[in-house]
Chains A and B, each alone.
Chain A
Amino acid sequence: MPEVKRIHVIKRKNGWAVRKHGAQRATKIYKLKEDAINNAITYRKLGFTVVVHKKDASVEKWIEPLTLPNNGQVRRMLHKVAS
């Protein structure tokens, strides 16, 4: 089964956890949800989708990963700028 590149912001009894999908343990637990979201968002550039959950576990926000353009796209963009 392919690895799911997803990182969750999840309610815990003692705060808000940042946890990779399927992981046994949280990466880190924050007192404030906002701080947990800020940490989770840094994983976007590593290709992770960020899923922010409400305290009842339902999905509040689904944030797609940052996708960097490949070489072909960069060449086309440079060509467009130059012309």
Chain B
Amino acid sequence: MDNFDKNVFINCPFDDAYLPLLKALLFTIKYCGFTPRIALERFDSGEVRLVKIKQLIEASIYSIHDLSRIKATAIGEYFRLNMPLELGIDIGCREYHGLEKYQNKKILILESERFGIQKALSDMSFADCKCHLGEDVQMVSCVREWFAELGIKQLRSPSYIWDKYNDFISEVYRKKKQEGFNPSEIENIPIPEFMDWIDDKV
């Protein structure tokens, strides 16, 4: 899949609590005319995860790193370090790879609490981050705003995209219920299947 100038690498948590935010993120990227690239897009137990991450980073001019869930939330729980690691690999790709196309890479860092990243990663204190506050509607705004700031033209308004996302979700719900899916199965659908549904509708 050689689509470097349209690909957006996504580095985010893959837990159930984050799933709604991930779906809104995927829809917004596709609605704005880009192709999300995410480790969940294919499942192969034999594939080395870090090799896959490296391939996705190298295949994408854009990257979105959501570091909103790296903080431990309970005593004894560890920080989640996969996401900062993947951000580091991406920055390394841009800084050290040598090929000109990688020097043009654009990176968005998302957080849920303003200035939270700077507290955890002081080396990133130079970075402008966008804050989605853990809200799906805000996630759509952050990503759409970032594309606009990169100079992408003719984007619809954040509320328009959000409304279309709600229309899309209702249409999927109607169709899949007719096909015999129950509401929980519809909400927890595998990500590759969800991305196919978006392709059918957008």
Contact = CB atoms under 8 A, between A and B. Distances in A.
Partners in one complex: yes
Interface of A: 6, 8, 10-13, 17, 19, 21-24, 26, 51, 53, 55-59, 62
Contacts of A21: 167, 170
B128 interface: no
A17 B159 CA distance: 11
B137 A59 contact: no
B192 interface: no
Contacts of B24: 56-57
Contacts of A62: 173-174, 177
B156 to A, nearest CB: 10
B interface, by DSSP: helix, strand, loop or mixed?
helix
A58 B169 contact: yes
Interface of B: 20-21, 23-24, 135-138, 141, 159-160, 162-163, 165-167, 169-170, 173-174, 177, 183, 186-187
A57 B183 contact: no
A10 B166 contact: yes
Query: B138, B160, B165, B166: which has the most chain A beta carbons within 10 Å?
Result: B166
A59 B138 contact: no
Contacts of A58: 20, 169, 187
